[in-house]
Amino acid sequence: MRVNFVLSEVAAGLRRNLTMTVAMILTTGISLGLMGTGLLIANMIGDMREIYYDKIQVSIYLADGITDPQRDAIAAQLDSSPEVKDYLYESKADAYARFTQQFQEQPALIANTPQDALPESFRVELVNPQRYPVIAEQFPNGQNGVDEVRDEGDFLDRLFSLLNGARNATIAVAVVQALAALLLISNTIQLAAFNRRNETNIMRLVGASRWYTQLPFILEAALAGLIGALLAIGGLVLTKILFVDKTLAGPIKAGIIPPVDWSAIAAISPVIAAAGVGLAAVAAYVTLRLYVRL
Amino acid sequence: MIELQHVTKVYPSSPRPALDDVSMQIDKGEFVFLIGSSGSGKSTFLRLLLKEDSPTKGVIKVNDKTLNTMSKWQVPKLRRTMGCVFQDFRLLTNKTVAENVAFALEVINKPQRTIKRVVPEVLEMVGLDGKENRLPGELSGGEQQRVAIARAFVNRPLVLLADEPTGNLDPETSQDIMLLLERINRTGTTVVMATHDYHIVDSMRRRVIELNDGILSRDQSRGVYGLGR
């Protein structure tokens, strides 16, 4: 294979169709960027599950007027329950400390919250998180110093279904955009093949192999796909620096939202690059097979 | 060398076959004129030999290889044994004379060493030495056709197919081109030339195969263009 020949054909092809090439690179880049965002959100959801689900499952909020014997009785009941894997007692002071840490970026909120506003509670981890109703039954609301038993998992499920929805929407837009990118790639390759029909006709007649004739076109698309992928990765890096690390700095520091690590971007970058190059090359190949006589 | 057995070609767009039960044999080293009016099936004949198309019925053999059963990836190998020349030259206008000829070898992966050796040789043979670095646009029609012939011949094909190679040239230039084709034929290359030029056919007195509405109506050694002329 004459590398110089193939590369010069690729370069000439990209130059000749400059506007189409730019359009092809941009749509591919946007599509891959959205795909990367979707993957990052998926990662984030996974991290958040670990943060939240592992820590708490059921909270037993205690009434303000609870007596020490009542509190001890609840602790004893939790100790003896086979449903309970572990539990943690959080006093009003503990709750306030956690609150101030979570909202340290919002001093006004902290200033307006009296120190004893947050209830004391038992944070309970279940052997089987699905068995929440059993615990709720054992500690009826409003009796024996219990104010309310709340399934935190239920709230988290709703939060995660929201995040999952965001992820799915991002990926759906990415798919539509990818379709546009594929059609554009197909169109560009047809145009490129038309522009070079004199060369390819002669190549066909003098017995150049199919592969030799098609390779410059496929490489042309693959190169555009690679540049699109690099743009997408650059976009993700900028998003991290300018949006995630700045605007979301507070919640991330407080541990509400997991940070987007460089390692996560590094992990999905090869996926994005492979998807860009692979899809473009396959689209080009299929186009040549279907629409172009070489 | 070339053998057709009861070859029929029907295009879907036309009820009348482009070739109708044509059988013939062309031996190695022959010089054959293929004549007939426009639409008589000459181009279809050449296309079938190049396996640009497949016959509807019948068997075609080139160099003892049956084209009907040939797989797609074997076709380039077949075409490397055949050279093609056309009425409209089909040169790459942005490449020089030498580059046009070298292109045919580059795309079939010939080593650069070989290309550097054989391109000047073939350009000298067709009488274009000294014009290697000209662009096709700077050459006369006859010279451009010489470049096309050099390109077709540079890989020493067994068969040279020429589709009205003198169709765009004046009589004198046409004569020069015919001398060149004869010279190529003398090296042992089989030449099949489709033409309308009766002066050339009559003066050369070679084998003439005439197609009439897709039917082989005449196959005559040392023939002339038309008996009534």
Please report, for chain B, the start and end positions of each structural domain, with discontinuous segments joined by +: 1-81+157-229, 92-156
Please report residues of B whose CB lies closer than 8 A to that of A207: 75-82, 108
**Numbered residues of chain A with Cβ closer than 8 Å to any chain B Cβ:** 1-2, 5, 198-199, 201-210, 212-213
Question: What is the three-class DSSP state of B66?
Answer: strand
Are the CB atoms for A222 and A281 separated by under 8 Å? Answer: yes
Give which of A261, A15, A77, A45 is closest to A167, Cα–Cα. Answer: A45
Cα–chain-centroid distance for residue A190? 35
- Nearest residue of chain A to residue B89 (CA atoms): A202
Q: Which of A219, A289, A195, A6 has the alpha carbon at shortest distance from B72? A: A289
Q: What is the pLDDT of residue A54?
A: 62
User: Dihedral of CA B130/B136/B138/B144: which sign?
Assistant: positive
For testing contact with chain B, the best of A2, A203, A205 (most B CBs within 10 A):
A205
A267 phi, psi to nearest 5 deg: -70, -35
Structure tokens at B62: 């080139």
Show the tokens assigned to B81.
């044994």
Place of tokens 């046009």: B100
Exposed/middle/buried for residue A293 (C-beta within 10 Å: 0-12, 13-18, 19+): exposed
- For the ranges A69-73, A110-114, B203-207, the lowest mean pLDDT is seen at A110-114
| Token reading at A163 | 């995040």
Angle, in degrees to the nearest 10, between helices A197-205 and B97-106: 60
Average pLDDT over residues A39-55: 77
Tokens of B229: 């002329």
For residue A2, which residues of chain B lie inside 8 Å, CB to CB?
Answer: 106, 109
pLDDT tens for each residue of A237-248? 999 998 888 888
Distance from CA of B228 to the nearest CA of A (A): 37
DSSP character at residue A113: S
Tell me: the pLDDT tens digits for B36-91? 988 899 999 999 999 999 999 999 999 989 999 999 889 999 999 999 999 999 99
Lowest mean pLDDT among A9-18, A138-147, B200-209: A9-18
Of the partner residues B72, B73, B79, the one whose CB lies closest to the CB of residue A206: B79
Section B9-34 average pLDDT = 93
Chain-chain contact of B79 with A202 (C-beta, under 8 angstroms): no
Block residue for tokens 């002066």: B199
> Percent of chain A scored above 90 by pLDDT?
20
| Per-position DSSP letters for A30-73, written without gaps between them | HHHHHHHHHHHHHHHHHHHHHHHHHH-SEEEEEPTT--HHHHHH
Q: What distance in Å separates the CA atoms of residue B104 and residue B199, rounded to the nearest whole number?
A: 32
CB contact under 8 Å between A207 and B92, yes or no, is no
How far is it, in rounded angstroms, from Cα A25 to Cα A185? Answer: 9
Query: Which chain B residues are closer than 8 Å to A199 by Cβ?
Result: 92, 103
Q: What pLDDT sits at residue A1?
A: 56
What local confidence, expressed as pLDDT, does residue A106 receive?
A: 78
Asked if A69 and A172 touch (Cβ cutoff 8 Å), the reply is no
Q: Please name the residue ranges forming H helices in chain B.
A: 42-49, 75-79, 97-106, 112-125, 141-153, 171-186, 198-204
Q: What is the percentage of chain B residues whose pLDDT exceeds 90?
A: 83
Interface test with A, best of B90, B107, B116, B144 (most A CBs within 10 A): B107
Give the homologous superfamily in CATH for domain B1-81+157-229.
P-loop containing nucleotide triphosphate hydrolases (3.40.50.300)
Quote the minimal CA–CA distance from B146 to chain A in Å.
16
Helix (H) or strand (E) holding B208: strand B207-212
Paired sense of beta strands B207-212 and B31-35, if any: parallel
A:B CB pairs within 8 Å: 51
Q: What are phi and psi of B124, to 5 degrees?
A: -70, -40
* pLDDT level of residue A148 (50, 70, 90 thresholds): confident
Tokens representing A114 are: 């009296």
> Per the CB < 8 Å rule, is B76 touching A209?
yes
Instruction: Look up residue B165 and give its two tokens.
Output: 């190679």
Mean pLDDT of chain A: 85
Given a cut of 90, whether residue A254 has pLDDT beyond it is: no
CA A143 vs. chain centroid, Å, equals: 43
CB contact under 8 A, A205 and B80: no
- Cα distance between residue B132 and residue B176, in whole Å: 19
- For B35, the 3-state DSSP assignment is strand
ipTM summary value: 0.87
Put simply, the answer to whether B90 touches A206 (Cβ < 8 Å) is no
Per-residue confidence (pLDDT) for residue A294, from 0 to 100: 60
- The Cα of B115 is separated from the nearest Cα of chain A by a number of Å equal to 13
Cα diameter, chain A: 98
User: Searching chain B, which residue's CA lies closest to the CA of residue A209?
Assistant: B76
Distances (CA, A) of B124 to B98, B111, B139, B186: 11, 21, 16, 17
pLDDT given at position A83 = 83
Give the per-residue pLDDT at B8.
95
Contact B108 A1 (CB under 8 A): no
Q: For residue range A187-221, what is the model confidence (pLDDT) as tens digits?
A: 888 888 888 888 899 999 999 988 888 888 999 89
Sorting pLDDT into bands at 50, 70 and 90, what band is B228? Answer: very low
CB contact under 8 A, B79 and A213: no
Cβ neighbours, 10 Å, residue A19: 8
Evaluate if residue B196 carries a pLDDT over 80.
yes
Test A208 with B77 for CB contact under 8 angstroms. no
Task: Tell me how far CA of residue B70 lies from CA of B65, B73, B84, B198, in angstroms.
Answer: 8, 8, 20, 36
Host H or E run for residue A182: helix A152-195
Residue type, B96: T
**CA neighbours closer than 13 Å in the CB half-sphere of residue B180:** 28
The pLDDT of residue B229: 47
Q: Measure the CA–CA gap between A132 and A153, rounded to whole angstroms.
A: 9
Check pLDDT > 70 for residue A66: yes
The amino acid present at B43, given as its one-letter code, is: S
Q: What is the pLDDT of residues B119-138, one digit of tens each?
A: 999 999 999 999 999 999 99
Q: What is the band of A4 on the pLDDT scale with cuts at 50, 70, 90?
A: confident
CATH architecture of A55-152: 2-Layer Sandwich (3.30)
Match 């029909």 to its residue by tokens: A197
CA distance A259 to B95: 57
Q: A177 or B31: whose pLDDT is higher?
A: B31
Confidence of residue A222 (pLDDT cuts 50, 70, 90): very high
**Chain A residue numbers touching B150 (CB-CB < 8 A):** none
Taking an 8 Å Cβ-Cβ cutoff, which residues of chain B contact chain A? 50, 72-73, 75-82, 84, 90, 92, 103-104, 106-109, 151, 155
* Residue of chain A whose alpha carbon sits nearest to that of B47: A205
- Greater confidence, A290 or B177? B177
pLDDT band at A53 (very low <50, low <70, confident <90, very high): low
Greatest mean pLDDT range, A2-16, A111-125, A194-208: A194-208
What's the whole-number mean pLDDT along residues A172-178? 88
Amino acid at A225: G
Specify the residue for token string 């490129």.
A192
Measured between beta carbons, which residues in chain A are less than 8 angstroms from residue B106? 2, 5
Question: What span, in angstroms and rounded, lies between the C-alpha atoms of B89 and B113?
Answer: 27
**A206 and B50: CB-CB below 8 Å?**
no
- R_g of chain A computed on alpha carbons: 29
**C-alpha A268: how far from its chain's center?**
10
Beta carbons of A257 and A251 less than 8 angstroms apart: yes
CB A184 within 8 A of CB A21: no
List of chain B residues whose C-beta atoms are within 8 Å of the C-beta of residue A208: 76, 107-108
Q: Supply the pLDDT for residue B92.
A: 94
